Amino acid sequence: MTSCAGAPGLQVVGRGEAVASALTRIPHRGIILRVHTLTYKVPGVSCAHCQSAITAEVSEVAGVASVAVDLDRKLVTVTGDPLDEAAIVAAIDEAGYDVEA
């Protein structure tokens, strides 16, 4: 049997999967482009405990989509839409850390 009839079909399936995974990622990228990103300097963060404590508190703030804690640079980056800055600072404070002005 030649592969002429089958191979194109398989390729279409392959493309279909590629398109499906691309479509899965596009909304995510769209959100990243659309959402607000706020970065706070939090000098007190030093270890994985600080990281998880802040992530846990800030994640509970309404509108927050993601929280990233950079332990080396002491930065907390929050993305979401909308973002309530006062609530985020309060959440970091609640976790036991001060945001550097």
Name the residue among 81, 82, 85, 83 with its Cα closest to residue 99. Answer: 85
Reduced to 3 states, what is the DSSP secondary structure of residue 1? coil
Q: How far apart are the first and last CA of the chain?
A: 72
DSSP 34-92: HSEEEEEE-TT--SHHHHHHHHHHHHTSTTEEEEEEETTTTEEEEEESS--HHHHHHHH
Least distance from C-beta 24 to Cu ion, angstroms?
Answer: 35
Q: Does 95 sit near Cu ion (CB under 5 A)? A: no
Q: How far is the CB of 53 from Cu ion (least distance, A)?
A: 7
Does position 72 interact with Cu ion (CB under 5 A)? The reply is no
- Closer by beta carbon to Cu ion, 10 or else 71: 71
Nearer to Cu ion, 38 or 74 (CB): 74
Would you give the binding string for Cu ion spanning residues 42-71, x where CB under 5 A is met?
A: ----xx-xx---------------------
In the complex, least distance from residue 100 CB atom to Cu ion, rounded to whole angstroms: 16
List residues binding Cu ion (CB under 5 A). 46-47, 49-50
